[in-house]
Amino acid sequence: GAVVSQHPSRVICKSGTSVKIECRSLDFQATTMFWYRQFPKQSLMLMATSNEGSKATYEQGVEKDKFLINHASLTLSTLTVTSAHPEDSSFYICSAPRLAGTYNEQFFGPGTRLTVL
């Protein structure tokens, strides 16, 4: 399968600081990537769709000024959590779709554990 990487794998920061998470598709190009948030023992919650060359599309209830997304190239999307607070602590996962015939197979990164003190 295709490979999607994330960096860093875990980060601990103080309240009020900003944290940047990178998502890379290593062996295929992705004009679209997705960012998810996952709380313990819960399903994946889609936060936003990252679009190369254009603005991200945010799901209802997600603060776009809080979670800044930049899709800098066909293989890189970044999520910046601005002025992080303890309630932003979570597991953040990105994914990238790769076309297989007429369907898109979704490949996920390994996730980033964010802890805000």
Partner 1 sequence: QQQVKQSPQSLIVQKGGISIINCAYENTAFDYFPWYQQFPGKGPALLIAIRPDVSEKKEGRFTISFNKSAKQFSLHIMDSQPGDSATYFCAASMQGAQKLVFGQGTRLTINP
Residues that bind partner 1 (CB under 8 A): 1, 4, 6, 32, 34, 41-44, 46, 49, 91, 93, 95, 97, 102-111, 113
Nearer to partner 1, 6 or 78 (CB): 6
Distance between CA 55 and CA 69 in Å, rounded?
Answer: 8
Distance between CA 34 and CA 117 in Å, rounded?
Answer: 26
Distance between CA 97 and CA 107 in Å, rounded?
Answer: 6
CB of 49 to partner 1, least distance (A): 7
CB of 16 to partner 1, least distance (A): 26
Instruction: Extract the tokens encoding 48.
Output: 């936003």
CB of 112 to partner 1, least distance (A): 9
